[in-house]
Amino acid sequence: MENSFENAIFNSSKDKPLTWFFKQKDRLSALHPDMSDTMINMKILRKCGGELEHAIKCRCTEPCSTEDYINAMEDISTRTRIGKSWTKIPMESKMVQKISREDRRPEKPVFKCHICGTNSHLANTCTKKTQIN
C-alpha cells in the first residue's frame, strides 16, 4: 500500500483529479490513521508535481478543506497546461517518406509558339510570321 502511494504521481491526461485525490487520501488514511486532514492534503499535494503543487498552494493560501484542494486541482488541470506531460512520438509511427530534391521541384511549363503552335521556339523568334497574311 505504501509503495502504491509513493509511485502514484498525478498525470492529468490519465487521471481525473477527484478520483486520484480520494484514492491517495484513502491510501494515506489506511497507512496513518492518526494523521490530520491538513497533513494528508499536504502529502498528497507533494505528489502532484512542482508546478501543479505550487499553483494549488497559491490558489488555496490558508489550510483549506479537501474539497477546496480538489476544486483548485480540477480548475488548474482543465484550464491550463500545468500537470500535463509531454510524450514523444516514436519516429517509426510517423512513417514520413523522404522526398528527393527532384520530386520537390515544380515542373517547368512548356512554352509554345502561339503563331505556329510548335514547342521548339517562342513567337518573337518564329520564322513563319511572314507566311500569315
Q: What is the pLDDT of residues 47-70, one digit of tens each?
A: 887 788 888 888 887 778 888 888
Place of cell 518564329: 126
Q: How far apart are CA 39 and CA 37, in angstroms?
A: 5
Q: Is 122 part of a structural domain of the chain?
A: no
User: pLDDT higher for 28 or 12?
Assistant: 28
Residue 85 pLDDT greater than 70, yes or no: no
Residue 25 within a domain: yes
**Residue with more model confidence, 35 or 92:** 35
Q: Record the cell numbers describing residue 110, joined without a space.
A: 512548356
Q: Is residue 113 part of a domain?
A: no
Supply the pLDDT for residue 65: 85
Asked, for residue 103, whether it belongs to a domain, the answer is no
Domain of residue 14, residue span = 2-79
Residue 103 above 70 pLDDT?
no
pLDDT in tens, 3-25: 777 777 777 777 788 888 888 88
With contact defined as beta carbons under 8 Å apart, do 53 and 41 qualify? no
Asked whether residue 91 is domain-assigned, the answer is no
Q: Write the CA distances from 71 to 37, 63, 125, integer angstroms.
A: 16, 14, 80
The pTM of this model reads 0.55
Q: How many domains does the chain have?
A: 1
* Residue 24 covered by a domain: yes
Region at 49 (left for phi over 0; alpha for psi -120 to 50; beta for the rest): left
